[in-house]
Amino acid sequence: MTYCLGIINQFGIVMAGDSRTNAGVDYISSYKKLFDLSLPGERAIIICASGSLSVTQGVLARLNRDIKNQEEKNLHSLPTMYDIATYIGGKSREIQAMDRPWLEKDNIDHSCNFLLGGQIKGEEPQLYLIYPQGNFIQATKETPFLQIGETKYGKPIIDRTITYRTPLEDAAKCALLSIDSTMKSNISVGPPINLVMYRTDSFELCNTLELRLGAPYIAKIRKLWEESVRRAFESMPDIEWESESVDPEEDIYID
């Protein structure tokens, strides 16, 4: 399992992901899930992957091969981010179709998801979630974030914090807290954590970070966040209990 997320707003894009992969409790390893496939000065392209490791690695290998071989369609030649999302979805279907019969034979899940974020000159920054079937959705001003993998534990903080007007640095902090909250509740998500921050119209990734196990910054924000949540909880007003109770069967008041 893994957890990756992307946040987009008027200032740019933040994307982050953990690196833990497991095939059971006795086989846990780390594989990077966030990849920079940009063409500096012309286009920024960031991809996060979750799901079947063999399938996602196969897709990324084909994406890189097409760039190297200068195929007619590749990440650096397609004219729009929409076209790139369609292209990645097609590559995902190809790999799954090739491997599906053998994986299903042994009841192995072959599905995978991708996050695609970036900007091509002449367009605004865009963020997509590409499903196993190859179709996709796009983040909007009303819903400026997308997640893949183990999403449920890290979603509440984003729901309560992020808007399209959130400063980019704050969005990056929120992304790290979202991942840390997930790590706190689910051992299938873990470091190293990779984080990138892309500023609109820069067409290159100037801010990247990898936080490994035991990183002081992760320990610091976890401690401060837990203390802040505890103080907020303790400041909540007491429950205003009803002075009278009702017998649910007889529907009468009991003094």
CA–CA dist 195, 172 (Å, integer): 8
**161: exposed, middle or buried (C-beta count within 10 Å: 0-12, 13-18, 19+)?**
middle
- Three-state secondary structure call for residue 101: helix
Give the model's confidence band at 254: pLDDT under 50 very low, under 70 low, under 90 confident, else very high: very low
CA–CA dist 108, 111 (Å, integer): 9
Examine residue 192 and say whether the peptide bond preceding it is cis (omega within 30 degrees of 0). Answer: yes
Tell me the mean pLDDT in the region 46-74. Answer: 94
Give the model's confidence band at 255: pLDDT under 50 very low, under 70 low, under 90 confident, else very high: very low
Among 110, 65, 67, 116, residue whose Cα is nearest residue 88? 116
CATH topology of domain 3-233: Glutamine Phosphoribosylpyrophosphate, subunit 1, domain 1 (3.60.20)
Q: How many CA atoms lie within 13 A of 137 on its CB side?
A: 11
Q: Is the pTM of this model over 0.85?
A: yes
Residue 52: what pLDDT?
Answer: 84
Helices (H), 69-116: 81-105
Give the model's confidence band at 225: pLDDT under 50 very low, under 70 low, under 90 confident, else very high: very high
CA angle 24, 27, 32 (to 5 degrees): 105
